[in-house]
Amino acid sequence: MTDSTRYPLLSQIDYPSDLRALAEQDLPAVCSELRDFIIQSVAQTGGHLGASLGTVELSVALHRVFNTPDDRLIWDVGHQAYPHKILTGRREAMHSIRQKDGLSGFPKRGESEYDAFGVGHSSTSISAAVGMAMAAQAAGTARKTIAVIGDGAMTAGMAFEALNHAGDLNTDMLVVLNDNHMSISPNVGALNTTLTRMISARWYDRVRRTSKALLRHTPAIANVVKRGETRIKRIIAPATLFEELGFRYIGPVDGHDIQHLVTVLENVREQQGPILLHAVTQKGKGYKFAEEDALALHAVTPFDPDTGQQQATASTGPTYTKVFGEWLCDMAERDQRLFGITPAMREGSGMVEFDARFPGRFIDVGIAEQHAVTLAAGLACEQQRPVVAIYSTFLQRAYDQLLHDVALQQLPVLFAIDRAGLVGPDGPTHAGSFDFSFMRCLPNMLIMAPANENECRQMLYTGFLHKGPASVRYPRGRGPGEPASKTLQALEIGKEEIRRRGQSIAILAFGTMVEPAQEAGEAINATVVNMRFVKPLDQALIDELADSHDLLVTVEENAVMGGVGSAVAECLLRENRTVPVLMLGIPDHFQEQGSRDELLTECGLDAEGILASILNHLPRQVSEPSFRLGGKKLATVK
């Protein structure tokens, strides 16, 4: 239970209705307690700290002023939604956030009625809000719709598509631009606070609308008045673009002044049409370590709240991300044509050193995956060699560009696909479970999956030299510990590696599944193949294995539906071979959060799960002998 001595006000807030019952003078203390609670809670669990500390006052003000959940509150991405979760009935469950069977790290419709829209990817909030506002209008209700979007998410084209549509519809909705990159400019002071309160007031809105109607037939005077209003707004509003899109712009306001926020939001609540409120906030607000290094404390492992020091993770070698970053720098030294492109994931994709050493060839396009891919296509048209570093889950957003702008034109663009497969605590919104399936149907695509760190480096080199589109997909975290050789040697395309020769059963393993498949194969004397290439497959090897074995088993960290197992079955059908195929991979449902090891076990993709699936597939008389895996005796048939 929440310590009522440390949190005397917060411990009374189980739902927003409790927050609305408090006196207005209590709100600053509520924000202080909420901020401390987040620090102490995330220190135990890890999670998204900096962004959530920056939205404490916004969360309190929005739930104070609006009648949630009847009024719809939509958080973009959701990194900043921890205060929202705490205020909406989930305070006592925060210890389970991002853990197996615990709270999601993002807003999730099935978790709470206060989570109006499930998120994880950015820049969707305004589109969802437009749909909800239109539904409210069609139903004739006075329900309010509010979208909170960060300045980073506003870089995506989808956000502007939604703004353009909403302004044209004149839909009744509020967009709160949470600007946490810009420091509060000098004009956000006492004078600006007064002017912003005035411009957001109902009387000003009535005067503004009435004046427009009266002056409609006197264009000369109307233009003078409009110019005067525009000049005043330019003093206090740095972004008149939103007015041109049909939104009424209010701000910027200090996003940490709770009483001013409440006053402005109360004024806005009574008005109609699309409104944009520009709130300037600070990531990590109120926690000095996060204020000093917002990047390092954006997403954290458990940490010491007194020092900000995060728990060290056990290191057994470089991560795949680091292997990529080192290869990228090495390759850039060799080839002046190399450009490294990222959609706002410089740190996550391991490109910090590349940016420092080759700033003229580092391109961060912001949260604009579609642009990143077509930009790469344009570079490739001019004999440059672009490398797009992108998470598997984010590549989904640029599928049309991957297909039409790269694959169709057979352009030499290399995709370094990070966070492939099961990603762990971020849950289903970030899982890279589908890239084998959606890429292998594209003509001209070369698709590779490394079994270890060294193979990853050699595959990146192979893909870079390839004369068409190529991809290397690798998981989050570390590999089995194979040192990455500084020597670069291109692999023979479509040539697989036989890890061991056995009898009767052949296990065809892809990427991360090679190590557990080999462990399982040794327990039953199976042939184990590191398949390396998803496309093209080694048809000759598959034919040979089909002729010499009674069962083929495919193992992949990808959705079984449409995955590489299906590709192997297609190869057998083309040659009229009838050997049975057991396809193991991620089941046909979204995997919830948990550690990566927990999820692999749940999907039966650890060594024990692979072995159990094989044995349970065999006829009983074949599987009577007992088998051992790592010294552990296993049951043979359920």
567/514 Cα distance (integer angstroms) = 18
Q: Is 496 a catalytic residue?
A: no
- Residue 504's CB is within 10 A of a number of other CB atoms, namely 14
Q: What angle do CA 105, 111, 112 make, to 5 degrees?
A: 110
Which of 369, 453, 455, 515 is catalytic? The answer is 369
| DSSP string computed for 115-175 | --S--SSSS-HHHHHHHHHHHHHHHT----EEEEEETTGGGSHHHHHHHHHHHHHT--EEE
Active site residue 575: no
Distances (CA, A) of 614 to 360, 407, 439, 604, 617: 52, 37, 28, 11, 5
3-state DSSP percent of the chain in helix, strand and coil, to 5: 45, 15, 40
Instruction: Say which of 397, 440, 473, 532 is annotated catalytic.
Output: 397
DSSP character at residue 193: H
CA distance 119 to 113: 14
Q: Tell me the C-alpha distance between 539 and 19, whole Å.
A: 65
Apex CA 164: angle with CA 161 and CA 167, to 5°? 145
Burial classification of residue 186, based on how many CB atoms lie within 10 Å of its CB (0-12 exposed, 13-18 middle, 19 or more buried): exposed
Residues 462, 495: contact at Cβ < 8 Å? no
In the chain, the amino acid numbered 447 is: I
d(CA 528, CA 502): 8
Helix axes 190-200, 258-269, angle to 10 degrees: 20
Torsional sign, CA 356, 359, 363, 365? positive
Specify which residues 528 forms β-bridges with.
500, 507
Contact 356, 368 (CB under 8 A): no
Over the Cα atoms of the chain, what is R_g?
28
- Per-residue three-class SS string for 508-571: EECHHHHHHHHHHHHHHCCEEEECCEEECCCHHHHHHHHHHCCEEEEEEEEECCCCHHHHHHHH
The torsion angles phi and psi of 164, rounded to 5 degrees, stand at: -60, -40
Q: Which of 35, 85, 283, 473 is catalytic?
A: 283
Verify whether residue 486 is a known catalytic residue. no
Please state, in angstroms and rounded to a whole number, the distance separating the CA atoms of residues 513 and 356.
35
Backbone angles phi, psi at 138, to 5 degrees: -65, -35
Residues involved in catalysis: 283, 369, 397
